[in-house]
Amino acid sequence: MNVIKKILPVLSILLAIAVQIGLKNSNLHPQTKPYFTYVLLGILIIYSILFILTFFHKGLDEKISYKAYFIAGAVLFFNILNLVTAKLAILPVLYFPALDRVFGVMVEQREVLVKCVLYSTRLLGYGVLFGALVGIATGICIGFSKTFSYWVSPVIRVLGPIPSTAWIPLVLISFPTAVSASAFLIGLSVWFPTTIMTSSGISNVQNSYFEVASTLGARRFYQVFKVGIPAAMPNMFLGLFNGICSSFVTLVTAEMIGAKYGIGWYINWQKEMLSYANVYAGLIIIALFFSVIVTLLFRVRDKVLIWQKGVIKW
Amino acid sequence: MVGQISIDNAVKKFTSVDGEEIVALNGINLDIRPGEFISLIGPSGCGKSTLLRLIAGLDFPNSGVLTLDGKQIKKPDCERGFMFQNHTLLPWLNIYDNIAFGLKARKIYKEKKNEVDEYIELVGLKGFEKSYPHQLSGGMCQRASLARALVGHPKVLLLDEPLGALDAFTRMNIQDEILRIREEHNMTMIMVTHDVDEAIYLSDRVVVMSARPAKIEKIVDIELPRPRARSNPEFLRYRAEVLKMLNYGGEIREVEYYL
């Protein structure tokens, strides 16, 4: 039974290959190399290797059996998509290019795309680092200093909720380069949720933790760093998660202002040229890119918050 | 000999939510000898814990003076260890780091490293150093919390119903451990409890407090040789005496309400 379940994805891939090779492409679509076939063959090879390994590795076996339906279903979805676009041209050809072309863009324009991803990573890296550091610092100061909170909290309450992209006109004239302007905008969008979650995390720490620390001889400064901050860590990660998600929105918008490369810039540019195959290729890459970043964040969280029983799952 | 506490006319008032003034402690006078074991017992909400928090320096009296070895108590300090009703172990530190917390905070960890292991062994948590609090049972966490309070060698150990949430057997085991530690290290201990047996089993003197505003109703000297047997007739006599003071003597009371 289990073996049949594990074979389902293989059947689904073979079916997709049969459709792809057996049926002729519609004349409405421009002819390209059959990149989708290569992708399917690649998946088939990888899956077959995993399938063989499942007989020797119990953990992998459980994972693959669990995912088998999903893999088969996903391949079937692309199979149908391929059928209604390339093979039958049921959907408008301009907006729904053949999968061959979408994958073809990834191969043929790989240099531009890699450059775009690197540029976006750099921009996001600067922005997130800057926003997260300033956000955590502001949050800690608000959480522990009444005076700081008195002066800064109202400002945050007014300025925080403004979408950072609304600052574009002001930012454009105040920053020397497009990169620094965009990094600032991204930082701003990370800063707000991180600050709010950090400060509320600190003010919600059980008072008895501070009391017990003080009876053990810990001074104020030590209490801030060894009790307040670790206790607020789960909230800080929540803030970072929210911040990073909104930084993706800002990244795509910010890359419209004078960026030379970048994945958001690429998608915008290709959309204006009506090259939808390139737009889809860009979208797939951006989805993978952001997903990897969030996965990394959660990996770090699981390491740091090993003492906590899981809250949000990714 | 150190660990002498005197409480001189301590008054503590709170303001309730509707702005009313509540007198929690109404002029408490008490002298505690070095190395003595004192239990504070009394009805719920009578201010026993408040008194303990004043001694710890976690709260401040509205009037009156508390001193330890002649020095006025002004803030929490590591010479007065505190064990809370909940274990209050820091959940992000493992058992070892929790117990070492005070030493690290006072920057004396390097010299006193070996004491951490010593106390872990003393409270029977060897092999659990790397575990996190949420992985251990309530009794084990309370043991760790005891070790954490003891490792800095406080002059006084304050215990706020530390065993209240534990089952009877675990409780009796930890009671014996507390007595053993007291004998070894000769520290003053003050414990808030609801459990009359526990108070008599452990204490040199049992301080019975009245309901709010709290006053000291009576101080009972427990003149039983140690180790004490819980079923000894003398023990039971003390038990009856204290229960009677708390109005649970078993005589027929006037019925105040009907169900």
> What is residue B168's predicted lDDT score, i.e. its pLDDT?
86
CB A153 within 8 A of CB A142: yes
Higher-pLDDT residue of B147, A27: B147
Cβ contact B102–A216 (<8 Å): yes
Tell me which chain B residue has its CA closest to the CA of residue A307: B92
Residue B134 at interface with chain A, using a CB cutoff of 8 Å: yes
Return the number of other C-beta atoms located less than 10 Å from residue A297's C-beta. Answer: 17
Q: How far apart are CA B183 and CA A180, in angstroms?
A: 67
Work out the percent of chain B whose per-residue pLDDT is above 70: 95
Tell me which chain B residue has its CA closest to the CA of residue A209: B88
**Residue A311 pLDDT > 70:** no
* Residues of B in Cβ contact (< 8 Å) with A231: 90, 92
Question: What tokens were used for A138?
Answer: 């502001």
> What is residue A42's predicted lDDT score, i.e. its pLDDT?
95
Question: What tokens were used for B170?
Answer: 């675990």
Tell me which chain B residue has its CA closest to the CA of residue A222: B105
* Residues of B in Cβ contact (< 8 Å) with A306: 132
Side chain identity at B62, as an amino acid letter?
N
Q: From the CA of B50, how many Å to the nearest CA of chain A?
A: 14
Residue B107 at interface with chain A, using a CB cutoff of 8 Å: no
Confidence class of residue A245 from pLDDT cuts 50, 70 and 90? Answer: very high
Cβ contact A230–B148 (<8 Å): no
Question: B52, B78, B90: which to substitute to probe chain A, counting the most A Cβ within 10 Å?
Answer: B90
- Which is it for strands B216-221 and B21-32: parallel, antiparallel or unpaired? unpaired
Q: Which residues of A touch B (CB under 8 A)?
A: 206, 208-209, 211-219, 222, 226-227, 230-231, 233, 305-309
Residue B168 at interface with chain A, using a CB cutoff of 8 Å: no
Q: From the CA of A202, how many Å to the nearest CA of chain B?
A: 14
> What is residue B255's predicted lDDT score, i.e. its pLDDT?
52
Radius of gyration of the CA atoms of chain B, in A:
19
Compute the average pLDDT of residues B137-148.
90
Interface A:B, Cβ pairs < 8 A:
70
> What is residue B207's predicted lDDT score, i.e. its pLDDT?
92
Q: Which of B84, B94, B132 sits opposite A212 (nearest CB)?
A: B84
The pLDDT tens digits of the residues spanning A203-218 come to 999 899 999 999 998 8
Q: Which of A213, A214, A217 sits opposite B152 (nearest CB)?
A: A217
Question: B101, B141, B153: which to substitute to probe chain A, counting the most A Cβ within 10 Å?
Answer: B101
> What is residue A260's predicted lDDT score, i.e. its pLDDT?
83
> What is residue B251's predicted lDDT score, i.e. its pLDDT?
56
* Residues of A in Cβ contact (< 8 Å) with B131: none
> What is residue B257's predicted lDDT score, i.e. its pLDDT?
55
Structural domains of chain A, ranges and CATH numbers in brackets? 2-97 (no CATH), 110-304 (1.10.3720.10)
DSSP output for A209-229: HHHHHHHTT--HHHHIIIIIH
Compute the average pLDDT of residues B100-125.
89
Residue found under tokens 């049921």: A90
Q: From the CA of A84, how many Å to the nearest CA of chain B?
A: 54
Question: A204, A206, A216, A308: which to substitute to probe chain B, counting the most B Cβ within 10 Å?
Answer: A216
Side chain identity at A150, as an amino acid letter?
Y
Q: How far apart are CA B14 and CA B23, in angstroms?
A: 6
Compute the average pLDDT of residues A61-72.
92
Which fold is adopted by the domain B1-79+156-162+190-259? Rossmann fold (3.40.50)
Residue B105 at interface with chain A, using a CB cutoff of 8 Å: yes
Alpha helices in B77-167 (DSSP H): 95-105, 109-122, 138-150
Tell me which chain B residue has its CA closest to the CA of residue A221: B105
The pLDDT tens digits of the residues spanning A265-279 come to 999 898 888 889 899
> What is residue A274's predicted lDDT score, i.e. its pLDDT?
87
Q: Which of A208, A227, A305 sits opposite B84 (nearest CB)?
A: A208
Confidence class of residue B245 from pLDDT cuts 50, 70 and 90? Answer: confident
* Residues of B in Cβ contact (< 8 Å) with A307: 91-94, 132-134
In angstroms, the Cα distances linking A121 to A91, A238, A262, A295, B37 are 34, 21, 8, 15, 65
Compute the average pLDDT of residues A284-302.
91
User: B140-163 in b/e burial notation, b at 16+ Cβ within 10 A?
Assistant: bbbbbbbbbbbbbebbbbbbbbbb
Q: How far apart are CA B198 and CA B201, in angstroms?
A: 5
Q: How far apart are CA B42 and CA B48, in angstroms?
A: 7
Residue found under tokens 């005076």: A147
CB A244 within 8 A of CB A297: yes
**Residue B256 pLDDT > 80:** no
Return the SS3 of A35: helix
Return the SS3 of B255: coil
What are the boundaries of each domain within chain B? 1-79+156-162+190-259
> What is residue B214's predicted lDDT score, i.e. its pLDDT?
79
The pLDDT tens digits of the residues spanning B3-24 come to 889 999 888 888 888 888 888 8
Cβ contact B91–A219 (<8 Å): no
